[in-house]
Structure formats: structure tokens, C-alpha cells
């Protein structure tokens, strides 16, 4: 029955689109329409609309999830009137929340280079003054309270490294489809320490989510500017290493800044290769880009994504088909990080949600869900205590909708990270302006989110102290460096074994794009090869590893260990 309804839906839009002849029917404006399905049939119609949104050239800012919840959809000038007519014909309640998306974009983000401080409350004025004052604690200056280019962000991180070389180091995790380096910054004192536990933060994996990028940058500033001033921050930097990648999708972010037209400003995906095809109405459409948060190898392609390259949630040709997702994977699984990352925080907008794994299906949680919930709920409470901002808490599948292939689920299941959270920042899903967060809310968003994240950091430090009571994590001299490296290596190997077991038991489909650490096929009979590219490095660090970790090394380092 619903296939028949979908067929009628497509026919209706096709005929209505063809009937538009006068300028009165098309005012040239992109619009956002909020839709309120009242019964199961209307909800199913909205879901059908959502599933075929790429054919209809509709951009759902908020997907239809359940009765009692609304959907927000942006329609281009050609489709806005047909959509409104369709909703009226089927008695589906709706309102136009943004009559002119481009006009609102200019109003909110326009050509103003910085926020007018006179519009801000005293706390924000003080923050801006500190950020711009030549005598401020952070010698590297950045215009917080505004949106900036990727190059400006990278330059700021380079300035931080220049002024604070003992506690900051800029790195690249890889290059994008268009050749940009994906830059991040490591913060820790002293910076050369590699044995400390790690907090990972990234933002901007979806191009249009600018407030997430700003918030990640705010975290960097707090760690640098408050070091030596705030005892809590000082302890963080002395005890842990922070790896922060503020823009995980630089190509998409820069593209979304390149024009004020809605189809550009609200670009979501990366800028991957274009694929041309004919749609249902025999029109040729060429679409590029992949939703990077559907491209990770955890239940890839199973739900909440699309195989249609024109879809906003296009999953890619296979898991890790994109250079950006491979870069995140390779960094987290590198000897530098693997087995040391205790928290993985990925920032998104919008809806004000604090999400923990798993998201690929409802009622699916990891075995340590009690720990995730306990820390996460305290984080939400701390966040709310700053301005009273209300957040929902749970798995994405349970409070939003199921979606597979996300970076957070992968980090938990295959990256072996303890505390994994995806935060959907301001505004609340009830707000009408969605991704166009007013600049005056940027600093408050950063402040409240940082308050919540500090709860996670405290949990990591507490767990670390519980494992090694009486040993200060900032005093490596208590252990010989060679012993420390060897101990860490063995921990890494054991965690990798655990990951392999999880992968083997949970895999339900053939891995069509294996990651760099397992990219070489298992040795065929009569062949003697290493499956891992790290064997020589491991043996250099720990000469006895072939003897002490026979099971693992025989499997992945057969040639280097001379097992064959």
C-alpha cells in the first residue's frame, strides 16, 4: 500500500512541478517548512518523502521520526509551492518557518566580520576583550563569537604552537579529496610525552554545522589560555594529551562558506567525486559528496543512510571510501593513539542532544552502558547549569532515529574507546532557525558545552588514578621509559586482539574496503607475509614481543617474527 502512496506522491510532484508557469508560483526563495504528521498514514507519507528527498530535491533539516514530533524541510524555489500544495491537499498541518532562507543567512552571517560587542552580555563582552587584548593569557589571537575560514583556524593553531611549543603541536591526520590537510592540534604538558591517556575531540564532519567547529576551537582556547591560571585546566593538560580536530571536513566547510545561496551554505557532505545519473523523471543529475558520518565501518549501509549519491545521507561506495574518514580511522588506530584514547567526543549541530552508542538500531547499547550513562548524564547536568540549556540524553537510535556508519559507533566498537559521545549543540530542535545559529550564541554554546565535557575529562582522570593508585600520571620518571613503552605496547596488543574478536563476532557483511591495518589479505598457504605494517616498529620498541605475544604476532607478524 505504501509503495502505491509513494507512486502517487511522485506523480503528484511531477505534474505539479510541470504546471508551474507564472512568477507568482515561484518567488525565487528557498523556504523551510515545518510539518506536523497527525496520524500513522501522514507519518508514513512524510517518511516516504524523506526517503525520496534526493529525487524531489528536498533537504530535511529534521527528519520525521514519530507521531508527536515534527519534520523540518528546506525546499528550493521550484519545489516549495508544490510541497505546500501537497501538504494542504492531504490535510497535513504545516507552517513556513523561514520564508527566505538566503535572506536570513545574510541577516545572521552576512558581511559582519565580528560580533557587535554592545549586543552581548557582560560575560561575553569580557571574553571578547580577553580574546582581542594583546596582553591576554593566550598570545595567539582568534576572533571568537564569529565564523572564520579554515585557513584562519589553521593559522591560529600554528600561532599557538609558536607561542606554546612546550604544550602544543599542530598535526595533520591526512588530506581531503581536494587536497587540503586535515589539521588538528595536540595539547599536553610536556608535549613530547606520548605515554599519557588521550581525549579526542572533532567537529565539522558535516560541512554546514559551523557552530560545532567554533565550539571545538573554544575548547582549544580554554586549554591554552587557562593553563597555569585555573588549577583544574592545568591538571588536565599536565595529566592528559588532547587531540582536537576542529574541522574534520575542510573541503565541505570551505564550500559551504563560498556562497550565500542555500544550496551552498547548507551543504552537508564532503566534496567527493561526482556521479551522474538519470532520476525518476529522466532528468540527468550529477551529484557529488558523501555523508562522512555514514561512511565508517560499523554496520555500514544497514540503516539511516542511502545508496543514492544525490542523497544528503549518501553512505559512499563502501566503508571508508572517503579520505576524510580513512584519516580519522588511521590516526585513532596508529601506534601513537591506539589503546590510549579514553574519550572520543564528536561535535554536531543541532537539536541539543547528548548521544552515546549505539545508533545503528534501537535498544542496542555497549556492555559498559551504565558507565556511559552515569558520566553522560552528569555531563548534561553540568552543561545545563551554565545557562539552563536543556539537553536530551540517550542513543541516537532511541531519541532520534537509527543510523549506521557513524564515527562514534565505530570509535566505541572498533576503536576500543571507553567514553564515546556525540553532541548535537544549539539550537534546540524546537527552534525554527536550525543551522543558522545567531553569532551571539556562539560563545555561550562553547562555555556550556565545555562545562559538560569537563565532566568526561574528570571521569577519565579518575579512572586512570583508580587503575594506578598512588602513581602520578604526570611523573613518568617513576618508571623506566623502556619498561613503560613495553607495558604500553602489550596493552595495545591486547586491546587490538579484543577489537579483532569484536569485529569477527559482529561482522555481518564482507568488508569491501578494509582499513590500512588489515588491508593485506590473510596469508595464503605457502606464503610468508606480515599482515600488519607496524611489525618492525613493535619489535624495535619491544624486542621480546614475538615471544611474549605469540598468538597475536603469529597472526599478524609471521614473517618478521620468523614463524614461517
Residues with catalytic function: 424
**Helix and strand element counts for the chain (H, E):** 20, 14
Residue 367: helix, strand or coil by DSSP? coil
Q: How far apart are CA 246 and CA 209, in angstroms?
A: 11
The CA–CA distances, whole Å, from 439 to 115, 433, 442, 465 equal 7, 12, 5, 40
Q: How far apart are CA 346 and CA 341, in angstroms?
A: 14
Question: What are the phi and psi torsion angles at 244 (to 5°)?
Answer: -120, 120
The CA–CA distances, whole Å, from 400 to 71, 304, 338, 346, 376 equal 12, 11, 30, 17, 17
Whose cell is 600561532? That residue is 159
Q: Sign of the C-alpha dihedral, residues 558, 559, 560, 561?
A: positive
Contact 128, 442 (CB under 8 A): no
Q: Which residues of 149-166 are buried (b: 16+ CB within 10 A; e: fewer)?
A: ebeebbebbebbbeebee
Q: Which three cell numbers stand for residue 195?
A: 605515554
> Helix-strand-coil percent breakdown of the chain, rounded to 5?
45, 15, 40
Burial category of 249 from C-beta neighbours within 10 Å (exposed 0-12, middle 13-18, buried 19 and up): buried
Q: How far apart are CA 534 and CA 547, in angstroms?
A: 17
Of 161, 242, 149, the closest CA to residue 204 belongs to 149
Contact 17, 63 (CB under 8 A): no
**Within 13 A of 280's CA, how many CA atoms are on the CB side?**
16
Whose cell is 576500543? That residue is 416
Element (H, E) at 421: strand 419-428
Amino acid at each position: 500500500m505504501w509503495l502505491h502512496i509513494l507512486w502517487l506522491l511522485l506523480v503528484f510532484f511531477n505534474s505539479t512541478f510541470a504546471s508551474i508557469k507564472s512568477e507568482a508560483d515561484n518567488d525565487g526563495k528557498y523556504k523551510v517548512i515545518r510539518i506536523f504528521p497527525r496520524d500513522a498514514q501522514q507519518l508514513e507519507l512524510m517518511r516516504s518523502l524523506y526517503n525520496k528527498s534526493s529525487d524531489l530535491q528536498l533537504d530535511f533539516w529534521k527528519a520525521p521520526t514519530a507521531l508527536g514530533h515534527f519534520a523540518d524541510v528546506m525546499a528550493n524555489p521550484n519545489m516549495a509551492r508544490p510541497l505546500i500544495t501537497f501538504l494542504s491537499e492531504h490535510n497535513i498541518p504545516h507552517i513556513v518557518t523561514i520564508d527566505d532562507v538566503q535572506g536570513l543567512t545574510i541577516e545572521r552571517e552576512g558581511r559582519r566580520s565580528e560580533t557587535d560587542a554592545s549586543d552581548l552580555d557582560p560575560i561575553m563582552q569580557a571574553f571578547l576583550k580577553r580574546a582581542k587584548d594583546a596582553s591576554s593569557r593566550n598570545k595567539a589571537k582568534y576572533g571568537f563569537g564569529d565564523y572564520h575560514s579554515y585557513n584562519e583556524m589553521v593559522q591560529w593553531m600554528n600561532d599557538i604552537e609558536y607561542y606554546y611549543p612546550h604544550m602544543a603541536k599542530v598535526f595533520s591526520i591526512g588530506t581531503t579529496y581536494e587536497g587540503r590537510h586535515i589539521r588538528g592540534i595536540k595539547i599536553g604538558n610536556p608535549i613530547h610525552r606520548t605515554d599519557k591517556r588521550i581525549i579526542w575531540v572533532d567537529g565539522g564532519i558535516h560541512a554546514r554545522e559551523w557552530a560545532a567547529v567554533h565550539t571545538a576551537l573554544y575548547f582549544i582556547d580554554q586549554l591554552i589560555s587557562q593553563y597555569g591560571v585555573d588549577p583544574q585546566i592545568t591538571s588536565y593538560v599536565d595529566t592528559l594529551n588532547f587531540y582536537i580536530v576542529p574541522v574534520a571536513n575542510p573541503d565541505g566547510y570551505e564550500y559551504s562558506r563560498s556562497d550565500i545561496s542555500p544550496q551552498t551554505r547548507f551543504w552537508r557532505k564532503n566534496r567527493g567525486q561526482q556521479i551522474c545519473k538519470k532520476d525518476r523523471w529522466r532528468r540527468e543529475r550529477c551529484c557529488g559528496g558523501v555523508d562522512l558520518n555514514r561512511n565508517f565501518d560499523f554496520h555500514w549501509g544497514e540503516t539511516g543512510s542511502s545508496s543514492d549519491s544525490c542523497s544528503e545521507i549518501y553512505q559512499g561506495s563502501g566503508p571508508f571510501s572517503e579520505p576524510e574518514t580513512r584519516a580519522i580511522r588511521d590516526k585513532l588506530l596508529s601506534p601513537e593513539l591506539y589503546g590510549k584514547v579514553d574519550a572520543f567526543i564528536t561535535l554536531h549541530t543541532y537539536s541539543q542532544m547528548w548521544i552515546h552508542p549505539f545508533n545503528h538500531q534501537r535498544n542496542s547499547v555497549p556492555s559498559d552502558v551504565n558507565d556511559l550513562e552515569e558520566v553522560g548524564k552528569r555531563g548534561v547536568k553540568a552543561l545545563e547549569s551554565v545557562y539552563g540549556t536543556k539537553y536530551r540524553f540517550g542513543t541516537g537510535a532511541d531519541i532520534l532515529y537509527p543510523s549506521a556508519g557513524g564515527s562514534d559507533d565505530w570509535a566505541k566498537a572498533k576503536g576500543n574507546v571507553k567514553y564515546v559521545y556525540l553532541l548535537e549543540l544549539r539550537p534546540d530542535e524546537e527552534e525554527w532557525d536550525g543551522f543558522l545559529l545567531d553569532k551571539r550564541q556562539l560563545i555561550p554554546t562553547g562555555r556550556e558545552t565545555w562545562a559538560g565535557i569537563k565532566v568526561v575529562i574528570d571521569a577519565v582522570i579518575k579512572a586512570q588514578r583508580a587503575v594506578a593508585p598512588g602513581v602520578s600520571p604526570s611523573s613518568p620518571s617513576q618508571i623506566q621509559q623502556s619498561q613503560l613503552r613495553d607495558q604500553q605496547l602489550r596493552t595495545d596488543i591486547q586491546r587490538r586482539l579484543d577489537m579483532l574478536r569484536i569485529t569477527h563476532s559482529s561482522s555481518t557483511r564482507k568488508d569491501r574496503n578494509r582499513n590500512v591495518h588489515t588491508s593485506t589479505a590473510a596469508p595464503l598457504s605457502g606464503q610468508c607475509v606480515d599482515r600488519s605494517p607496524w611489525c618492525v616498529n613493535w619489535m624495535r620498541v619491544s624486542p621480546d614481543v614475538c615471544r611474549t605475544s605469540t598468538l597475536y604476532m603469529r597472526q599478524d607478524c609471521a614473517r618478521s617474527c620468523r614463524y614461517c
